Chain A
Amino acid sequence: MRIARRQFLGHLLAAALAVALAWELSAQTPLSPYQHKALYLFNFAKYTEWPKDAFAGDDAPFVLGILGKDPFGKDLEVIKGKTVRGRKLEVKYFSTLEEVSGCQLLFIALSETNNLAQILKALENTSVLTIAEADGFLQASGMINLVTEKKTAGTQSVAFEVNLAAAQKANLKLDAQLLKLARNVLRT
């Protein structure tokens, strides 16, 4: 045990030293939890291929829809107006299911958790990538679910899980990289 301890001490020192010497100041400012999630949405858009008819035309923007009570607020600024898949990213806010139209990616807020089945049923024959952060979202045939986990020292991390079958049914092609990094992939 004592030898093991010394090794760990060595490990810590070596790592501290290496990092300090290389001076790897990682460039990003610390993100807020919903900036972090917004960046996930952006990356999901990057790693998904939509059928051509999912867009109104070649110049049409890429539309991110948010259904229900918006948890992002200003945190969405980190991705607004950026270019994704050669299109300008725009955001539309929907308060009810009936309003949902013309988006390629739909984030379903926690406030809609009780209506998930109904929402996903209504979107069944459209090429909309559905994303939420609710237990049971994949089981209700949602496509990507964000899972927030409390980690060490008062931090949180976010993982995601994918329902590949649901995405395929909607004619969406998910990149292998996305599937590789998913914590869990439902294939049937």
Chain B
Amino acid sequence: MALALACQTQPAVGATAATTADPTELSLEDLVKMEIPIVEGASKYKQKTTEAPSSVTIITQEEVKKNGYRTLAEILASAPGLYTTYDRNYTFLGVRGFNRGDFNSRVLLLVNGHRVNNSLSDGAAIGTEFILDPDLIDRVEIIRGPGSSLYGNNAFFGVINVITRNGRDLPGLGAEVSGEAASRDTFKGRVTWGQRFTNGLEVLLSGSIYDSEGHDELFYKEFTAINGGIAENADADKSKSAFGSVKYADFTLEGAFNTREKVNPTAQTVMQFGFNDPRLRTRDERSYVTLKYAHDFSGDAVVNAQVYYDRHDFVGHYPFAGTLYEDVQAAEWWGTEVQLTKRLFDRHTLTFGGEYRDDFRQSEQYSPNGFSTVTNRQNYGIYVAGDFAVLTNLHFNAGARFDQYGDFDAAFNPRLALIYNPVGQTVFKAIYGTAFRAPNFFELRRNPDPNAPPPPTPETITTYELVYEQGIGDHLRSSVSGYYNQIDDLITPLGGYYQNLNNAEAKGVEISLEGFWNSGVRGRLSYSYQETQDTTTHQVLTDSPRHLGKFILSAPLMKEKIFAGAEVLFASARETDKGTQAAAYGIVNLTLFSQNLVKGLEFSAGVYNLLDRRYADPATPLHLQDVIEQDGRAFRGKLTWRF
């Protein structure tokens, strides 16, 4: 591992030897072997990853299968600089050393370009509560750095664009049936049908059911007074989801739905009152329907537009001092977006866009005899971005977005990038940008109190980043990225109100080396060094590992039929909210995947946490626990039949 890393950190030495050859000298054989990188979410149009004004990682369906990823969270955790924390209810995403154990509102999550962060916490669901069955993912684009200049709110540390499979991807009759069984009484079933008809109509429909009983017993030493600290049968996780997409000509109608109920064994917020009580559970329901229009006018202009309706429902049941409280939250919103992308003189690309969103219902009702809040919010944003080829090998990329909310000052966020391709497969990117996160429904909510502090204003981030990408031969790609993030006005709860209390900074380096060979072997090795500090308290941020190391490999055991996938994930110790540490961990996951042994049949068998390491993630500030222990060794078998 160390050797491979060393190799790719010193490539500049030999670079002068390379000369830019005439591409027409490429042989037909070269062309057949060639792979061209493409990415959509970084600039809101399709472009090569090397031209994107960001550090980008793309994870495809093939990797999801070969490495046996079960959730979006596991997919993300395999990417350089990202890590996840699970509190046995929700999964929190850490990006570049920053993970506050809230609901991922500092990352913008998109499904086919549609924003799926919810309306109340602005959170992004990535565990079993993610709106999409991970089997429907074609690829995940992870675009690091501030994205507010294009996307507005929440594109703080990055943008994650999940792109689904299409009807055309299902051959034959277009049917796919999948079933899986896993440790701790976990089962999942899925039925999908997709087709593209000769008249151009394309359809994909899918439904899934997931049911996991979870651990029979979980022990938490903080609760030894109740049932000896054991939460019995309190870990069940059940979800149902559906997805549908109909495309015809320039129009796409797409809808998604997920309902997920989780019993909560860790008893945060209700403390000892609800521990080991199976009534303590939460249900999240999330859905959207969107109508999209995309037209490619000749003369290199592309118009994209969408109008959507979204909904989020949450019910929490909290047994508290003998009474079962119910917290019912609901939000509905609609919005519309229009974007024009225009190529100028075939060298420059200009993008203009605007969006309007109306969160016409945001509500929360506590019962019995609790408070209730009903509000709404409107906002709009306009943006412009350009990619200018100053020289054939030097691009200047600039963009800015203006966002107006009714309840606080407008946000203006620019991004500037220089992308320089001096020679061969060498690319340098220098990026500056800012982003914001608006205070959410919960943070703005106030009781009528004359002594209340003023409501919080948006959190902001300023990022400086240098990226060096180097292709090495036909099979290896490496990248080194160094960044500095300055985060201001973090919103922190104090005395029942949320206020802009903290500032923070993060700096770090990410190194990755990816390899692909025609034999079917592929791998990615990455290391991240990240240093964070709360500049108000001068302490290291909680849940912020200094080192992250990842090694992901898949290789054929039998050509194009049987593959072995291995994954090693390492994170160094993380500070907890209560001032201790969650110890460093290294876990190994193994997957065997086979396809076409029998026509149309895929089989996979996975072992997760192979070495049965005991490790724990930092708990959130709402927990009595300091850390939450994670799963030991687990197995999953999965069978998918296509016909």
Contact = CB atoms under 8 A, between A and B. Distances in A.
A152 interface: yes
A153 B514 contact: yes
Contacts of A29: 20, 23, 393, 421, 424-425
Most buried by A among B4, B34, B347, B472: B34
A28 to B, nearest CB: 5
A155 B36 contact: yes
A28 B62 CA distance: 27
Contact of A157 (B34, B515, B522): B34
A67 B557 CA distance: 46
Interface residues of B, number: 74
Contact of B555 (A11, A40, A177, A181): A11
A12 B48 contact: no
A154 B138 CA distance: 10
Given A12-B523, A78-B24, A157-B34, A152 B7 contact: no
B471 A153 contact: no
B521 A40 contact: no
A150 interface: yes
Contacts of A104: none
Interface in B22-54: 23-24, 26-29, 31-39, 48-50
Contact of B472 (A24, A42, A70, A153): A24
A5 B36 contact: no
B24 A181 contact: no
Nearest to A84: B24
A8 B566 contact: yes
Contact of A28 (B26, B33, B475, B553): B26
Interface string A167-188: 0000000000110010000000
A186 B403 CA distance: 57
Interface in A60-104: 69-70, 73-74, 78-79, 82
Contact of A27 (B20, B347, B513): B20
Given A1-B590, A30-B36, A40 B31 contact: yes
A24 B472 CA distance: 7
B391 to A, nearest CB: 12
Given A39-B23, A152-B63, A26 B49 contact: no
A33 interface: yes
Given A19-B476, A152-B62, A33 B566 contact: no
A152 B516 contact: yes
A187 B55 CA distance: 47
Contact of B38 (A8, A28, A82, A154): A154
Contacts of B24: 39, 42, 78-79, 82
A74 B17 CA distance: 29
Contact of A23 (B17, B346, B515, B566): B17
A9 interface: yes
A16 interface: yes
Interface in B462-507: 471-476
A47 B28 contact: yes
Q: Give the one of A74, A150, A154 with max B CB within 10 A.
A: A154
B4 A153 contact: no
A56 interface: no
B19 interface: yes
Contact of A26 (B31, B37, B48, B425): B425
B3 interface: yes
A126 interface: no
B638 interface: no
A156 B7 contact: no
B4 A12 contact: yes
A43 B63 contact: no
Given A28-B26, A30-B50, A39-B24, A153 B63 contact: yes
Contacts of A79: 24
A125 interface: no
Nearest to A16: B4
Interface string A2-34: 001100110111011101101111111111110
A13 B4 contact: yes
A159 interface: yes
Interface in B568-582: none
Interface in B420-443: 421, 423-427
Question: Which of B56, B346, B423 gathers the greatest number of chain A CB atoms within 10 Å?
Answer: B346
B446 interface: no
A158 interface: yes
Majority SS at the chain A contact face: helix
Contacts of A159: 32
A87 B39 CA distance: 37
Contacts of A154: 37-39, 49, 56, 58, 60, 139, 141
Interface size of A as a range? 35 or more
A150 B39 CA distance: 12
A147 B64 CA distance: 24
Given A20-B7, A177-B28, A26 B521 contact: no
Given A16-B4, A17-B3, A43-B31, A28 B37 contact: no
B37 A153 contact: yes
A153 B58 contact: yes
B637 to A, nearest CB: 16
B388 to A, nearest CB: 14
A16 B8 contact: yes
A135 B214 CA distance: 47
Contacts of A22: 473
A30 B14 contact: no
A36 B34 contact: yes
A170 B590 CA distance: 54
A79 B26 CA distance: 12
Contacts of A152: 35, 60, 62-63, 516, 522
A27 B564 CA distance: 33
B115 interface: no
B28 A73 contact: no
A35 B393 CA distance: 15
Contact of A43 (B28, B426, B525): B28
A93 B230 CA distance: 75
Given A42-B24, A178-B28, A17 B7 contact: yes
Interface of A: 1, 4-5, 8-9, 11-13, 15-17, 19-20, 22-33, 35-36, 39-40, 42-43, 46-47, 69-70, 73-74, 78-79, 82, 150-160, 177-178, 181
List the 8 closest pairs (A to B, CB-CB), nearest first.
A154-B58, A74-B346, A20-B7, A155-B35, A27-B21, A25-B18, A24-B473, A23-B14
Given A12-B515, A154-B49, 14 more contacts: A5-B564, A13-B1, A13-B3, A15-B475, A15-B517, A20-B11, A25-B14, A28-B424, A70-B298, A74-B346, A150-B60, A157-B35, A178-B28, A181-B32
17 contacts: A5-B564, A5-B590, A8-B553, A8-B564, A19-B476, A20-B476, A23-B17, A24-B473, A25-B424, A33-B38, A43-B28, A43-B31, A78-B23, A78-B24, A153-B37, A153-B514, A158-B31
